[in-house]
Amino acid sequence: MASSSITLSQAILSSSSIARNGSSQTTTTTSLSLPTFYGLKSTTTSRRRIATVPTTTTRLSVPRASATVETLEKTTDTALVEKSVNTIRFLAIDAVEKANSGHPGLPMGCAPMGHILYDEVMRYNPKNPSWFNRDRFVLSAGHGCMLQYALLHLAGYDSVQEEDLKSFRQWGSKTPGHPENFETLGVEVTTGPLGQGICNAVGLALAEKHLAARYNKPDSEIVDHYTYCILGDGCQMEGISNEASSLAGHWGLGKLIAFYDDNHISIDGDTDIAFTESVDTRFEALGWHVIWVKNGNTGYDEIRAAIKEAKAVKDKPTLIKVTTTIGYGSPNKSNSYSVHGSALGAKEVDATRKNLGWPYEPFHVPEDVKKHWSRHTPEGAALEAEWNAKFAEYEKKYSEEAAELKSIITGDLPSGWEKALPTYTPESPADATRNLSQQNLNALAKVLPGLLGGSADLASSNMTLLKMFGDFQKNTPEERNVRFGVREHSMGAICNGIAHHSPGFIPYCATFFVFTDYMRAAMRISALSDAGVIYVMTHDSIGLGEDGPTHQPIEHLASFRAMPNILMLRPADGNETAGAYKVAVLNRKRPSVLALSRQKLPQLPGTSIEGVEKGGYIISDNSSGNKPDVILMGTGSELEIAAKAADELRKEGKTVRVVSFVSWELFDEQSDEYKESVLPASVTARVSIEAGSTFGWHKIVGWKGKAIGIDRFGASAPAGIIYKEFGITAEAVIAAAKEVS
């Protein structure tokens, strides 16, 4: 690999440039010495960095002809690059210092690659951070967010003004302690929990590859951007990143370029204490192209050449291992864990200013640096204008595709889409809600161009295949069934990336409900970052039977009901499954978890899509005056049991109301009047039944009510027997109803 890298990168450097979009670059970069790529460093080599003075000076010889030419060639005067890089470093140092909180080490080490990305490589429009065809950037090592804030600030994003930098990590600021897409325009995804970002980047790159395959035409590459990512040692250690990287290699995501900030320091010290694997070899095993930039501190040309090389490799994602010094420039703290996650302290800030020759006040951006970066505003506007013109052409020629793509870009759902939702009557055949889910997915895929997804190797159990589409694969990226393999965690995080690529994407993903435990961190980020991912979670209780307690969710419904900004839906039959999908599709800024049964369930009288939208509603009632003798409540597969118990109790003369509690969150959002109409305060005789933990139900059934559930682990046996042994039965509901009423 090493030798081929030398050849390829040097070949690119010495040849005339390869411009995107077919526009040719007339001047070639003159560099005094070519960057050299040596073989991969042995892991036993001493890791202490020696900051070397850059020996190459590359000048911008000709002003750029158009905003769309390959920017990589236009390197700036190295002194100005250095000044810009130090501006980034000191903005980070100063912000962390002022907050007395944060992580200066990464921005100081990664400033060179950050500068080259945002100033020379990436195509974006700072005044419209959501311009569709922009290059995406993900800081997977999210703790280094001051790097990103400094870059957004320099690039002219309105979201990060000087006062925002000065209020880093303060209440209400646009510069929180980790990058949050919902706080700061220009931040694509929320990162911080390690390893998530690289998976988001895989999702973003997947989305681009998919849309390009679906919508590009021989005469119009209307979808065409790169996805860049910076990840650190911590991201590399997390299993989730290996999962997504394996998929990225499998899918051949050639426009994904990840920078591995190889600084060899993590919070506990030198990474040698826990991380001595060969990352390079691992990524080669995963099917990536791997390049090593040995001098990430000042080797600007090395970084540039690596990016060029990465772009030239079109069938594989590229990992650029950039060896940097954490806290570069700090004479006493660089290359140590002490610069990772704490402010440098006034004394060391002074020493660093001296060491890097930085005479400026805190937060100062030198005029020449400011001026240099100021071109991104007009250039970004030009890039977008050019793309808009291109899209107008495209629209003329390919109106149908343009309309579809537009709906993905804008997130406007096609009108009348919800008419595609299937409906059922009590006479419709009994079926498992996982099967009913598949009917919904297949119906919706026809009307929602942004719906795509798949399962973590359980497609035939989760029932998630879209029958009219093939598999999204390296050579069939236009297809919509994504095969994630047994990789739940990265599946969720990849879907977050897809969701954040464009508002019209509606990614869904699936596994057994119990295995949400494997992907909970990604699901929480869906909830936190407003990603409307649909989690199709089947085998949702002891009803799965023989697989036993390792596979039987118990506490999972409660655990998601407790999580903010996520909808936990447990439909009972066909109409409720359709209702759950309606809610999930409409909630584009809130993920939905659909808990679905493995076992067959009858179509119940009284269920409805509209009912589901209210979260809790009456499916049957023989009382009058809003005063039933008892209210029975159930969700999902246990709603049938509640309905049966009601039938029996009514035979005995009781007035009984049956309430489906399909989504607690939606019910909570209803008016007090509605809530009172379903659960009158005066009726304290209430019984709930759910094949899961009773935790949380007391808020609904009250002190005088009774919650029937399972507060132990499950068991391996046929489902019917477990239900009986665990007392999840109509008899138990009847007995409880008599006890409380």
Which residue, chain included where needed, has tokens 């509605």? 674
Please, what is the minimum distance in Å from the beta carbon of residue 269 to a second copy? 9
Q: Which amino acid is at 19?
A: A
- Judged by beta carbon, residue 127 or residue 724, the one nearer a second copy is 724
Please state, in angstroms and as integers, the Cα–Cα distance from residue 369 to each residue in 126, 128, 651, following that order. 17, 22, 83
Are 595 and 568 contacting, i.e. CB atoms less than 8 angstroms apart?
Answer: yes
Residues 190-229 that bind a second copy (CB under 8 A): 190-195
What is the rounded CA–CA span in Å between residue 366 and residue 377?
18
- Judged by beta carbon, residue 235 or residue 659, the one nearer a second copy is 235
363 is in an annotated binding site: no
- Judged by beta carbon, residue 356 or residue 659, the one nearer a second copy is 659
Please, what is the minimum distance in Å from the beta carbon of residue 194 to a second copy? 5
Please, what is the minimum distance in Å from the beta carbon of residue 221 to a second copy? 27
301 is in an annotated binding site: no
500 is in an annotated binding site: no
Are 109 and 328 contacting, i.e. CB atoms less than 8 angstroms apart?
Answer: yes
**Among 274, 385, 430, 468, contact with a second copy (rule: CB under 8 A):** 274
What is the rounded CA–CA span in Å between residue 551 and residue 543?
10
Task: Check if 488 is active-site.
Answer: yes
Residues 337-366 that bind a second copy (CB under 8 A): 337
Please, what is the minimum distance in Å from the beta carbon of residue 40 to a second copy? 11
551 is in an annotated binding site: yes
Please, what is the minimum distance in Å from the beta carbon of residue 78 to a second copy? 35
Residues 398-457 that bind a second copy (CB under 8 A): 455, 457
Query: Could you tell me which of 623, 649, 734 has the C-alpha nearest to residue 689?
Result: 734
Query: Could you tell me which of 614, 531, 526, 502 has the C-alpha nearest to residue 569?
Result: 614
553 is in an annotated binding site: no
Please, what is the minimum distance in Å from the beta carbon of residue 302 to a second copy? 24
Which residue, chain included where needed, has tokens 């007392």? 727
Using CB under 8 A as the binding rule, whether residue 721 contacts a second copy is answered as yes
Residues 682-711 that bind a second copy (CB under 8 A): 693, 695-696, 698-699, 702-703, 711
Using CB under 8 A as the binding rule, whether residue 489 contacts a second copy is answered as yes
**Among 128, 565, 608, 655, contact with a second copy (rule: CB under 8 A):** 565
Please, what is the minimum distance in Å from the beta carbon of residue 218 to a second copy? 29
Query: Could you tell me which of 575, 512, 487, 515 has the C-alpha nearest to residue 241?
Result: 487
Q: Which of 379, 401, 488, 690 is catalytic?
A: 488
Are 425 and 575 contacting, i.e. CB atoms less than 8 angstroms apart?
Answer: no
Q: Listing from the earlier edge strand, what are the strands of the sheet with 256-262?
A: 136-139, 227-232, 256-262, 318-323, 289-293
3-class DSSP state of 676: helix
Please, what is the minimum distance in Å from the beta carbon of residue 180 to a second copy? 7
The token pair at 467 is 């029958």
The CA-CA-CA angle for residues 442, 469, 241, to 5°, reads: 95
86 is in an annotated binding site: no
Query: Could you tell me which of 263, 193, 103, 270 has the C-alpha nearest to residue 520?
Result: 193
461 is in an annotated binding site: yes
Using CB under 8 A as the binding rule, whether residue 275 contacts a second copy is answered as yes
303 is in an annotated binding site: no
According to DSSP, the residues that pair with 455 across neighbouring strands are 483, 510
**Among 434, 561, 614, 657, contact with a second copy (rule: CB under 8 A):** 561
Helix axes 196-215, 488-501, angle to 10 degrees: 60
Could you tell me which residues come within 8 angstroms of residue 693 by beta carbon, excluding any fewer than 6 positions away? 554, 555, 557, 558, 709, 710, 711
123 is in an annotated binding site: no
689 is in an annotated binding site: no
Helix axes 399-410, 376-397, angle to 10 degrees: 140
Using CB under 8 A as the binding rule, whether residue 725 contacts a second copy is answered as yes
Please, what is the minimum distance in Å from the beta carbon of residue 143 to a second copy? 8
Helix axes 145-155, 105-115, angle to 10 degrees: 40
Which residue, chain included where needed, has tokens 């042995």? 42
- Judged by beta carbon, residue 284 or residue 613, the one nearer a second copy is 284
Are 400 and 214 contacting, i.e. CB atoms less than 8 angstroms apart?
Answer: no
Using CB under 8 A as the binding rule, whether residue 571 contacts a second copy is answered as no
Q: How many residues bind to a second copy according to rule CB under 8 A?
A: 111
Using CB under 8 A as the binding rule, whether residue 237 contacts a second copy is answered as yes
Using CB under 8 A as the binding rule, whether residue 268 contacts a second copy is answered as yes
Q: What is the dihedral of CA 687, 688, 693, 696, to 10 degrees?
A: -80
416 is in an annotated binding site: no
- Judged by beta carbon, residue 250 or residue 738, the one nearer a second copy is 250
Using CB under 8 A as the binding rule, whether residue 737 contacts a second copy is answered as no
The token pair at 403 is 């309309």
Strands (E), 18-147: 136-139
Query: Which H, E and C letters describe 185-235, residue by residue?
Result: CCCCCCCCCCCHHHHHHHHHHHHHHHHHHHHCECCECCCCCCEEEEEEHHH
Read off the DSSP letter of residue 408.
Answer: H
- Judged by beta carbon, residue 87 or residue 490, the one nearer a second copy is 490
Contact string 278-317 vs a second copy (x = CB under 8 A): xxxxx-xxxx------------------------------
210 is in an annotated binding site: no
Using CB under 8 A as the binding rule, whether residue 2 contacts a second copy is answered as no
Residues 67-106 that bind a second copy (CB under 8 A): 99, 101-102
Contact string 161-190 vs a second copy (x = CB under 8 A): --------xxxxx--xxx-x---------x
Residues 455-474 that bind a second copy (CB under 8 A): 455, 457-461, 471, 473
Residues 518-557 that bind a second copy (CB under 8 A): 518, 520-521, 524-525, 527-528, 545-551, 554-555
Please, what is the minimum distance in Å from the beta carbon of residue 102 to a second copy? 7
Q: Which amino acid is at 29?
A: T
What is the rounded CA–CA span in Å between residue 193 and residue 527?
14
What is the rounded CA–CA span in Å between residue 218 and residue 154?
37
The token pair at 691 is 């094949």
Binding-site entries for Mg(2+): 233, 263, 265
Binding-site entries for thiamine diphosphate: 143, 192-194, 234, 263, 340, 515
Binding-site entries: 103, 143, 192-194, 233-234, 263, 265, 340, 434, 461, 515, 539, 547, 551, 598
Binding-site entries for substrate: 103, 340, 434, 461, 539, 547, 551, 598
Residues assigned a catalytic role: 488
